[in-house]
Structure 1
Amino acid sequence: MTILVTGSAGFIGSCFVRQHFENSTEPVVSLDALTYAGHLSTLLPVMNNPAHTFVHANIGDTQVVADILATHKPRAIVNFAAESHVDRSILGPEAFLQTNVMGTFRLLECARAYFETLQGEERPQFRFLHVSTDEVYGTLGKNDPPFAETNAYQPNSPYSASKAASDHLVRAWHHTYGLPVLTTNCSNNYGPYHFPEKLIPLMIMNALQGKPLPVYGDGQQIRDWLFVEDHTRAIARVLEAGTLGETYNIGGWNEKANLDVVNTICAILDDLQPRADGQPYATQIAFVKDRPGHDRRYAIDARKIERELGWKPAETFDTGIRKTVQWYLNNQEWATQVTEQGYREWLEKQYG
């Protein structure tokens, strides 16, 4: 038995692969295009594992994907591959449509062709698990209930629109062609190996480098924060026991305003690695112009996956964020290495 993991060198995909080999000897073929946010360094702990095969390719390369499926005959495809940063989608949406929409379409078509060749026990065992985001649901008011799996899709950014489109494709390939699919929609992830363009790693690295900590608008945008290792455990559980055609929302039950998250990071750094001048890191906070169409609040109702599959997060935000800050303190060389090419120019363009 084998699993094909796409987007395997990214933040969440690499966590899934590393975690898989902590619990299993089942082979994994991992595929990644190694764009700016995908790095083989995230897979170093498993690169020498004989059960791990890495393929450098895009999910839209149908010949490569078809060859992988024919050669390795996986029992499942877990699709993490995606462009995922809202800010970048606003500046350049086409890459998001190419990867998230057309890439998913081509991957589905390869999976469908492969599925139709399966016989005997292999056919009912096969799964296509598509990893998506809570942003497809749009934004919530302060007192609105969290997003449930039954919420209508109302994406507000090029990124979330492209992910919503991919979710719809997955659903359609199940209902039209009978492809055995599962979909997960997660809240904001954080943890080790997170590329430092997203809020939490960006704040940690800028703080340590004595740079401003850019906070959009008034900093009161609320997100539900999910530790990445909790997320990947949930995905493994959905792959194992999820009902075909169903969607499972995965959240951390940790709603926090962005400004509160930044202040928490500053307080942990004050404790673990104080500034040389004795000043608190919070003095580096700098409010910047809000991004266009910035959703005010996301929150996930994760009761379905707990009720049906017995999963719930093991980390609170307090335990998870401290582990994350400590990891970046211990791995500053990694963060510097992965941000060498074009990163500073992008930050300057984005935050001024």
Structure 2
Amino acid sequence: MMLVTGGAGFIGSNFIRYAIREGLGPVINLDKLTYAGNLANLADVDESPHYAFQQGDICDEDSMLTLLRHYHPTVIVHFAAESHVDRSIKGPYDFIMTNIVGTYSLLNASLNYWQEEGQPADFRFIHISTDEVYGALLQDESPFNEQNQFRPNSPYSASKASSDHLARAYYHTYGLPVIITNCSNNYGPFQFPEKLIPLTIANAIEGRAIPLYGDGMQVRDWLFVEDHCEALSMVIKSGGRGETYNIGGDNEKTNIEVVRFICTILDRLVPCSAGEYSRLITHVSDRLGHDRRYAVNAEKIRKSLGWEPATLFEDGIVKTVEWYLNNSQWIERVRMGRSRRTGA
């Protein structure tokens, strides 16, 4: 039995579908259903006998322990987090509560449950984190590896760095079998349309301005979400207790490259009579404290677990654009705040 927190979000919902498809065991999806939690993301597995949904808040330690006692999971995959940097700048409180206090509560409940169960050897707590905890890279610096110091630069990344420290401490202090993963920027189906790639696609097909921070030369390492899910399955099956694994796509691109490439794909798939979609690109004031470059060295997970990304960015972004074109109603419902609770 696997408990997935934040399973109605972007990466969590993709992982649940992957887990059910690959037979990783029955999955319990725990989600608070905030603005980014959307049960419509899981409509295709909702009737599966291997899937169940439970609404709940990871900050409520007592209810988390009750949940664990009821379902008896052997694996917890902890995605639940506030994750949008812009929102963390405008309102850091929710990030502190969910990412730090929530992770503490879940770790503490998991520790109590694990001890009650006799500290089973096959139990795993997989803590999903981000490359942003390492801070920013200069243009000529080597990609982040697992030994890099944490240098978070936004309230979001600081809250995730804090949660990583807590997860590590629960392993080293109490022996709780924790594994930490730090991934690069994910992209793919079901991503909430405030993030760069889905926002670009949605605004372009609606003929609206495509906002681009500053000069658009910020560099990110892009990881197709399906590849991330495969990496996590390997971590669950074979990852070492107390280990940290960086998961990256080996696809460094500037934001302006990504946006222009999406526009080129749209020009081919849904040509616009008003001209090329790139005409909609609009440079806006840069984000406060905007990190210039992230990149991930995933050599450890390659060598120790045999994983490597299978999807070239050029292929993954075409799949992603096609998915959003074919699911315009999903975008509309998400933007209007519908379907979180009902999956409608």
Normalising by structure 1, we get a TM-score of: 0.95
CA distance in 2, matches of 1:149, 1:186: 11
SS at match of 1:45: coil
CA distance in 2, matches of 1:85, 1:276: 34
Number of matched pairs:
338
Candidates 214, 237, 259, aligned match of 1:262: 259
Q: Show the counterpart of 1:331.
A: 327
Match runs of 1:1-12 below 5 Å: 2-12=1-11
CA distance in 2, matches of 1:59, 1:15: 20
1:260 partner letter: E
CA distance in 1, matches of 2:160, 2:61: 20
Match runs of 1:139-218 below 5 Å: 139-218=136-215
Give % identity.
Answer: 55
Residue 25 (structure 1) shift:
6.4
* Greater RCO structure (CA 8 Å; 6+ sep): 2
Per-residue CA deviation, residues 252-306 of structure 1 (Å, 9 max, x unaligned), is: 00000000000000000000111133x1000000000001100000000011100
Question: Greater shift after overlay, 19-28 or 237-246?
Answer: 19-28
Q: Show the counterpart of 2:53.
A: 54
RMSD: 1.0
Structure 1 segments, 4+ long, off by >3 Å, are none
Question: Greater shift after overlay, 315-324 or 22-31?
Answer: 22-31
CA distance in 1, matches of 2:31, 2:136: 31
Candidates 277, 280, 283, aligned match of 1:284: 280
Q: Show the counterpart of 1:80.
A: 79
Q: Show the counterpart of 2:305.
A: 309
1:33 aligns with 2:29: no
Residue 31 (structure 1) shift:
0.2
The 8 Å contact of residues 234 and 311 in structure 1, kept in 2 or not, is answered as yes
SS at match of 2:44: helix
CA distance in 2, matches of 1:20, 1:27: 8
The 8 Å contact of residues 183 and 248 in structure 1, kept in 2 or not, is answered as yes
The 8 Å contact of residues 25 and 51 in structure 1, kept in 2 or not, is answered as no
CA distance in 2, matches of 1:50, 1:276: 48
Q: Show the counterpart of 1:223.
A: 220
CA distance in 2, matches of 1:209, 1:58: 35
Q: Show the counterpart of 1:346.
A: none
Question: Greater shift after overlay, 210-219 or 25-34?
Answer: 25-34
Consecutive unaligned residues of structure 1, counting only runs of 5 or more, are: 343-352
Q: Show the counterpart of 1:133.
A: 130
SS at match of 1:65: helix
Normalising by structure 2, we get a TM-score of: 0.97
The 8 Å contact of residues 7 and 82 in structure 1, kept in 2 or not, is answered as yes
SS at match of 1:238: helix
CA distance in 2, matches of 1:257, 1:187: 14
Q: Show the counterpart of 1:349.
A: none
CA distance in 2, matches of 1:39, 1:61: 21
CA distance in 2, matches of 1:127, 1:10: 21
